[in-house]
Amino acid sequence: MKRFALTCLLFISGTLTAQDSAIPTLNVVGAWKAVNFPNIVFEFSHGNDFIFTHSLIKTTKNDAFTTKVPYDEITRGAWEIGDWIKTVNDKGTDSTCNFKIYANGECCFNAKILSNKLILSKVVGYTSTICSSRVLIKVTQ
């Protein structure tokens, strides 16, 4: 009986280890531009710092001329990779996410890398440019 219990325990722990090691790691460190909006950049550092830059143009008009001045809206925060269960609506429906960004609130995404693109699919978060589902491409320097 002890041999059977030990065999079961080793099988279960081996299965859990195999499942844990099968979870792919996301290498998101670096700068990423939104594919459809190149004026939006997400930067993820090794220290889990996050910088979101939205480059805009301010237009000022008067009787004589129009002035256009570029400027950046910068939001700072943090990011982390994990495994969370989040309630996504008032009916109590739960969904999972594996990537969080904290900047003016919390955004929870399902993130994956396909080819050279980082796909962020919003699960739950506040309404903002940061918390939108996006396809990002790594910025080469």
| Chain segment 78-115, per-residue pLDDT in tens | 999 999 988 877 777 888 999 999 998 999 999 999 98
pLDDT of residue 77: 96
Give residue-wise pLDDT tens across range 51-74.
999 999 988 888 788 888 898 999
- How many independent structural domains does the chain possess? 1
Q: Which domain holds residue 105?
A: 25-138
Average pLDDT estimate for 109-122: 93
Q: What is the per-residue pLDDT for 34?
A: 95
Does residue 127 carry a pLDDT above 70?
A: yes
Q: Is residue 1 part of a domain?
A: no
Answer yes or no: is 37 within a domain. yes
Please check whether residue 80 lies inside any domain of the structure. yes
Q: Is residue 38 part of a domain?
A: yes
DSSP letter string, the chain: -HHHHHHHHHHHHHHHHHHHHHSPPP---EEEEESS-TTEEEEE-TTSEEEEEEEEEEEEE-SS-EEEEEEEEEEEEEEEEEEEEEE-STT--EEEEEEEEESSSEEEEEEEEETTEEEEEEEEE-SSSTTS-EEEEEPP-
Q: What is the pLDDT of residue 66?
A: 87
User: Buried b / exposed e across 78-101, counting CB within 10 Å, b at 16+?
Assistant: ebeeeeeeeebeeeeeeeebbbbb
pLDDT of residue 101: 95
Q: Is residue 2 part of a domain?
A: no
> What's the distance, CA 115 to chain centroid?
17
Residue 14 counted as domain residue: no
Q: Tens digit of pLDDT for each residue in 4-57? A: 444 443 343 333 333 343 345 788 999 999 999 999 999 999 999 999 999 999
Please report whether residue 67 resides in a domain: yes
Residue 102 lies in a domain: yes
The pLDDT assigned to 92 comes to 77
